[in-house]
Amino acid sequence: MAAGLAAVGFLDQTGLAGKRHWGGAKRGGGKMEPYLAVFSDIDGTLLDSQHRLGQETVEAVRRIVAAGVPFVLVSARAPAAVFPIQDELAVATPIVAYGGALVLDQDRRPVHSLLVPQTKAREIHSRLARERPLVTVTFYSHDDWLVDDTSHPRVVLEAKITSLTPIPFDSPGAEDRVVHKILCLGDPGDIAALAEELPERYPDLSIFRSSQVFLEIMHGDATKANAVHYLCQALRLPLERVVAFGDNYNDVDMLQQAGLGVAMANAPAEVRDGVGRVTEYDNDHDGVARFLATIPLISAATSLRFTRASFPPPEGKE
């Protein structure tokens, strides 16, 4: 165990706690209660700038999971790009994929699915091909990733990071696939412009920058905050008793909603300024692990079983 985790702020059933912490959620009379679960973004948060998990981060997550505290990954990635990280962390909890458009249970089965209407997805694809030809537009459908050009440098780089195999839009059956997310890849200027333009054109959709070069378009109800709220309701976890970590624009609503929302030190200034806490260390220096060592957590959720039976019937609405 890394030396920096020796004082991790766990509360066991006897009420003992680590010496240093930020405090927990308030209840009547101002008494502080420990947190019950952790929700975390992946890229730029858990992973370092080389898209790797630090050893201190792995040990910290395994430690709180072993103590019975759920650790839930909340990502804009496809499910298949989340599973290897979940496996390395030895985490068996639901996951939030596509920025909230798809939720899977502990057994990796869909329990909540929000779709972009296919007609609207095709309209956006055609419009951007005309108006922003330098922007690469791709679709995600469950674990399928549909692209115009599999050899485009942006597509090749993203495939290397996520280990997903791109499928050409003109492949048999591609046109009939449901759409969980539209990902636009481009230069920062184009992405910033689209982030201003598209919400006005499509106010019924959820549109976020997930980095300086990525713009994500989903169903209007598909946000990380809504997905975390859905999970907390299904699993009877009070929102004020959960911690959330993130580093980018599409994390802000989740961070503001959680009892303790924590932005990474490497997050853009607008993100850091919009939440209650910022890690002392960035994602290249195990910022999540080191922050977890400063807060009280309790294993009150050890009896939860995160299977499909915990959730309402699966959805698939457009």
What is the per-residue pLDDT across 152-167, written as a single tens digit (0 to 9) for each? 888 999 888 888 899 9
User: What b-and-e string marks burial along 211-250, b requiring 16 or more CB atoms within 10 Å of the CB?
Assistant: bebbbbbbbebbbbbbbbbbbbebbebebbbbbbbbbbbb
Alpha helices per DSSP H over the chain: 55-66, 79-89, 118-131, 153-162, 188-201, 224-234, 252-257, 269-273, 287-292
pLDDT > 60? residue 290: yes
Mean pLDDT (the chain, rounded): 85
- Pairwise CA distance, residues 21 & 315, whole Å: 39
On whether the CB atoms of residues 81 and 164 are closer than 8 A, the answer is: yes
pLDDT for 211 equals: 81
pLDDT > 70? residue 103: yes
On whether the CB atoms of residues 245 and 43 are closer than 8 A, the answer is: no
On whether the CB atoms of residues 83 and 77 are closer than 8 A, the answer is: no
CB count, 10 Å around CB of 94? 28
SS3 71: strand
pLDDT > 50? residue 15: no
The answer to whether residue 187 is catalytic is: no
Q: Is the dihedral of CA 209, 249, 102, 79 positive or negative?
A: positive
Domain covering 118-219, topology: 3.30.1240
pLDDT for 315 equals: 58
Spatial CA neighbour of 277 closest among 297, 298, 256: 256
- Pairwise CA distance, residues 13 & 213, whole Å: 46
pLDDT for 143 equals: 86
pTM of the predicted model as reported, rounded to 2 decimal places: 0.81
Q: Average pLDDT in the 43-67 region?
A: 95
pLDDT > 70? residue 3: no
pLDDT > 50? residue 7: no
Listed in order, the ranges of the chain carrying CATH 3.30.1240.10 are 118-219
pLDDT > 50? residue 18: no
State percent of the chain over pLDDT 70.
84
Residue whose token pair is 């220096």: 285
pLDDT for 19 equals: 29
- Pairwise CA distance, residues 185 & 182, whole Å: 10
pLDDT > 90? residue 300: no
- Pairwise CA distance, residues 14 & 274, whole Å: 36
pLDDT > 70? residue 305: no
Residue whose token pair is 């090749």: 156
Task: Look up residue 241 and give its two tokens.
Answer: 């008793």
Q: Average pLDDT in the 94-116 region?
A: 93
pLDDT in tens, 193-206: 999 999 999 999 99
Residue 13: pLDDT band (50, 70, 90) is: very low
Q: At what angle do helices 79-89 and 55-66 cross, to 10 degrees?
A: 80
pLDDT for 124 equals: 95
pLDDT for 311 equals: 61
Greater confidence, 314 or 219? Answer: 219
pLDDT for 30 equals: 46
Active-site hit among 12, 41, 149, 247? 41
- Pairwise CA distance, residues 233 & 217, whole Å: 25
Listed in order, the ranges of the chain carrying CATH 3.40.50.1000 are 33-113+223-310
Query: What architecture is the 33-113+223-310 domain classified under in CATH?
Result: 3-Layer(aba) Sandwich (3.40)
Spatial CA neighbour of 7 closest among 300, 302, 289: 289
